[in-house]
Amino acid sequence: GRSDDGLRVRETTVLADGPEATLALLRELHPEAVKRRQRIESLKKRDIGWVNTRLERARLALRQAELAHAEGRLDDDGLAQARDRFAQRKETLDEEYDAILQEIHRIEREDDRFRIEVVDPASGRFAPAAQTQPDEPLRLSQIVRAVQSNALDWRGRLGVYLDRWWEFLTADPREANTEGGVFPVIFGTVMLTLLLAVIVAPLGVVAALYLREYARQGLLISTVRIAINNLAGVPSIVYGVFGLGFFCYTVGGWIDAGPANPWPIGLWALGVGGLVATTVGAVLLGLTAKPRPGAEPTLRTRTLGLVAGALWLATAALVVALVAYMPFFHGFFRARLPSPTFGAKGLLWSSLTLALLTLPVVVV
């Protein structure tokens, strides 16, 4: 409680004193304390997280209705109904959120009742509950495990050793990443490696086989080989900057919000016509450039082959431009902006960046 002058007053009842009595009582009370801690963590992560998820969905639905109203696809009555639905949903979720908070506070008050003083024999000071609370003893639920090291036989020591390794490999970090486990890091590394292997292995092996076994050796293939060898020696920081700029900000931003400066519909239709023309021209010239069976390539067939290759490059460039500046696409996650979804750092973009870093090495 608190007195009138603001000073904190606590009623303390010592339940056990001395090493043996404290350890015995700790073994009795600690399992319940651990259950309280786990219950609090579950309420904060799962229950409150689920409330926040539903509230975010309701907010996104309202935001989509506002965007549709701004574009003329929803009238004023529809927007008013969307706002009413959001207000009702928010009121319901706020009540559920308050109920969860009350349950958390109730368990925390119960948890605060049980403290333990772990005293350093050299300094005489006890371990505080937090660095910002130097005068508060540890809560019983903050104790991860209590072990009498000198009283353990080799089986007990092995059990403690394996238990700590299991915690390190399977638990989440805690106390600002200074304690606990590294399971999220392990999971992210495994997923990153799997995505990297799925992308790099097929492309790298196929490219290497084509360049070595099927591609006609010449100036173009020599240039490609030189470029691949140079890419294999590029520092990884360059790939990282490229991945951040291209994948996160460019591709991710396009997925979230669509093109920043879309082409007019007439210009985009003209580009589609140009795409059809270049594709047909590249196919026809490629067929015409093939020499007769058993005949040597002539200057005419070589020229037609170069023109067909240039048309294929123009076709690829037009495809990229038509997709990048499509006037009919407004992004998949406009309602979430300005908070990016794909336009932020993530596992997918990291995998693609590492794939670009690894692909030249695989090809070589």
Domain end position, chosen among 129, 155, 181? 181
Shared domain check, 176 and 133: no
The chain-wide mean pLDDT, for the chain, equals 85
pLDDT in tens, 107-141: 999 998 888 877 777 777 777 777 777 778 888 88
Q: Is residue 190 part of a domain?
A: no
Q: How far apart are CA 83 and CA 93, in angstroms?
A: 15
Shared domain check, 166 and 268: no
The DSSP secondary structure of 253-274, one letter per residue, reads HHHHH--SSPPPHHHHHHHHHH
pLDDT in tens, 194-251: 888 888 888 888 888 887 777 777 777 788 888 888 887 888 888 889 888 999 999 9
Parent domain of 176: 147-181
| For the chain, percent of residues with pLDDT exceeding 90 | 32
pLDDT in tens, 58-96: 999 999 999 888 888 889 999 999 999 999 999 999 999
What local confidence, expressed as pLDDT, does residue 11 receive?
59
CA proximity to 257, closest of 191, 155, 335, 148: 335
Shared domain check, 352 and 250: yes
Shared domain check, 239 and 206: yes
Shared domain check, 209 and 166: no
Q: Which two structure tokens, joined as six digits, stand for 193? A: 């490696």
What local confidence, expressed as pLDDT, does residue 4 receive?
44
Q: Which two structure tokens, joined as six digits, stand for 32? A: 């319940």
CB atoms within 10 A of CB 286: 16
